[in-house]
Structure 1
């Protein structure tokens, strides 16, 4: 269990994750009915504060088969919904995230991987392989990528240019493959891929976002410099956040759209490194609960706001959009995409038009992602007006690191007009 997992309450492993269940699914996955499970152990791997959308469990197995009496050992990961009556589940159910992610792992990701491998001629892994999808239990069991030495980047140190370029290259291929898959199979993303964090169907995330913005406003009250300049703007933003968010994800005529990851930050991709010199050689994507049919610009804004080192985001953002754009165009052409490809100028405008996505990522999501305080971190705490809930929300904005970040990011967003009436 990670150090972070020891600092906050963890969800227990699902009760149905028994030896009989795992043996059955493992036998099907390995196509060997003689498989016998010799040992099973499970452990929660992510605390409440480490992941807000599901329960993650690592499954350790030892097994034998008729062909090999020697005991073989491996691990898998299980991802499932929160238990009944968990406040997080009450929010997420409105977004169809569990059904969507099961569809992604079972139907979509294998086809995208084939396009990248066979037509883009990139043999590198794109996603974790799926062992089992159980729709009755809203669960997915997939390979444990740590066995291939994939690791998650440090969410506090964030990404340097080398890691950023690699991630953008892989993201461009993911987006290109999604657009081509939709072109070849019309309607494949027409159901349940229209509910990102902002959408016309539900505002269930609204209280989460506005409660945190109100906590930001309270923190600015005690800051004589930032408070005077930005508190009034944040107070107005509390009232308009959901309207502006929905506007930022509206698809306009002429937009290039595709399958976006939807939740692209450091905990949702992993890197593999060269054993000799330590350079990153591959990046893979995980966690597809909020994958959505929309502009790829929402992924770029989310990624830049949550995962890049400050100098890259503040000084080289336009350059990085250009880098991504050329990779996207190259992949689309190799895949023989017949739709209209925007010019770089048009794509930069499309990116700017989605600029409000950077606001909620920077001021709401990233402070929570960076949280390292003593309070129990969970969606329940964000929603609660209890003493504990208020203490958690206020503590999110109290750290020196967040205060320093806000002193940089608030002026950056303000200069782009993203804190004014839009």
Structure 2
């Protein structure tokens, strides 16, 4: 199913008026003569593409400098769910909207300067910001599709070439974050400790419990998996938050930095060269950016975004590749903190491995959902017949049932389904 055919309309924010857009464009283009002539609004993402915000694409036609000739372009507008939406109630407790606005307004421009000026990489790192409106919890971005950036297919996942490119860019992002914190020690002091697992809120607990229970129900359809794993999944329901918090606790010997926190296929955009090979990757959606171990980005990325033959078999190789890129970037950027050895970093990666179980068993099924049910956080939270039908559908598809035959043994062999 194509993304276009899977788009579901949503009401545009009432404040997103022609007058509002014209005012912001005048500031962005630094041209008070700009006059908005037409504004077209439509959904920007499809069913199952995003569970934490509303994305709208706006097409604008305008004149400038007194000319009668119309110019046109598009932008993306990211807004919160309505106040009464169950998703908003969950997300507000994590400070995601204020954090992402802070990222685009304060942090990402600094990181881009470090990567460009000290790492010598002139490639784009993130989408340019048109406007941050804290009163409305909204951000207007460049539409990177105009520069031929596009998101890879969340169903087909990423191949080897895309994976190495993402790891290279991730190493630069992490190195720049560590250097920025070293130079401005308090820059990540506020609101950067609220990832999916943290010591302050368990707002995601009902979501995680409901999804694990749906996984358990799906195992009824396979007697072999049921016998081997259902009791372990049932036990995990009551312990998922404890284990998640344990996996994100920062140990004294850990190398830590600013991590993306939600690094999966649809939060990465690629640009391609004339031969169709990926030449750049940029990250989007910084709502769950946190100060923590880079290992959580790696686990989350590996288990949600890589093709099946890569994500389980080549992890040590990918960690080594990422680590060498990270060390090289840290040296170039003159980071003075302690850099672990590869052996130490592999141990750190293993110590955060419950993030792999969380990502693959709880978050990946909604990420790759391609069924007919309404895909939303409200449906995950709901115990209505409709909500239960959606959650069951997540795990009972033929593709997900096939995948569980590989994923469950992989996690179980690492001890991630046993008591921890």
TM-score after normalising by structure 2: 0.98
Per the TM alignment, residue 170 of structure 1 is displaced from its structure 2 partner at its CA by 0.2
Provide, for residues 374-403 of structure 1, a one-character-per-residue CA deviation record: whole Å limited to 9, x for no partner: 111111111111010111111111111100
User: Alpha-carbon deviation of 1:409?
Assistant: 0.4
Where does 1:7-86 land on structure 2 (aligned, <5 Å)? 7=6, 9-66=8-65, 68-86=67-85
| Structure 2 equivalent of residue 289 of structure 1 | 287
1:160 aligns with 2:163: no
Q: Which residue of 2 aligns with 1:309?
A: 307
**What is the deviation of 1:156?**
1.2
Matches within 5 A, 1:46-195: 46-66=45-65, 68-195=67-194
1:389-404 correspondence runs (5 A) = 389-404=387-402
Unmatched tracts of structure 1, length 5 or more: none
Distance in 1 between residues matched to 2:239 and 2:231, nearest whole Å: 13
| Residues 1:67 and 1:181: Cα distance change in structure 2 (over 3 Å) | farther
Shift in Å at residue 350 of structure 1?
0.3
Contact 2:300 2:356 in 1 (8 A): yes
Alpha-carbon contact 1:7-1:374 (below 8 Å) kept: no
For 2:88, what is the secondary structure of its paired residue?
A: helix
CA distance in 2, matches of 1:232, 1:9: 38
Moved more, 11-20 or 119-128: 11-20
The 8 Å contact of residues 39 and 61 in structure 1, kept in 2 or not, is answered as: yes
* 2:319 is the alignment partner of 1:321: yes
C-alpha spacing 1:184/1:68, structure 2 compared with 1 (3 Å): farther
* Superposed displacement of residue 46, structure 1: 2.0
Asked if 2 retains the 8 angstrom alpha-carbon contact of 1:58 and 1:76, the reply is yes
Counterparts of 1:233 and 1:79, CA distance in 2: 39
1:413 aligned to 2:411?
Answer: yes
Q: Is the 8 A contact 1:61 1:75 kept in 2?
A: yes
CA contact (8 A) 1:87 1:380 kept: yes
Structure 1 residues 193-208: aligned runs within 5 Å: 193-208=192-207
Match of 2:245 in 1: 246
Contact 1:5 1:50 in 2 (8 A): no
Q: Is the 8 A contact 1:257 1:295 kept in 2?
A: yes
Deviates more, 1:49-58 or 1:18-27: 49-58
Q: Retained in 1: the 8 A contact 2:152–2:266?
A: yes
Following the alignment from structure 2 to structure 1, what is the Cα–Cα distance between the partners of residues 402 and 7?
25
Stretch deviating more after TM superposition (96-105 or 39-48): 39-48
Deviation at 1:67, TM superposition (A): 5.8
- What does the per-residue CA deviation read over 1:77-115, in whole Å, with 9 as the maximum and x for residues that have no partner? 000100120010010000000000000000000000000
| 2:44/2:76 contact within 8 Å kept | no
Give per-residue Cα distances to partners, 1:174-230, cap 9 Å, x unaligned: 000000000001110010000000000000000001100000001112211111000
- Distance (whole Å) between structure 1 residues aligned to residue 47 and residue 88 of structure 2: 13
1:281 is paired with a residue of what secondary structure? Answer: strand
The separation in 2 between residues aligned to 1:5 and 1:210, in whole angstroms, is 32
CA RMSD, aligned part only? 1.1
Cα-to-partner distance string for 1:318-343 (whole Å, 9 max, x where unaligned):
00000000000000000000000000
Alignment partner, residue 384 of structure 2: 386
Counterpart of 2:371 in structure 1 is: 373
After TM superposition, give the deviation of residue 70 of structure 1 in Å: 2.2
CA–CA separation in structure 1 for the residues paired with 2:71 and 2:202: 48
Q: Deviations over 1:161-180 (max 9, x none)?
A: 11000000000000000000
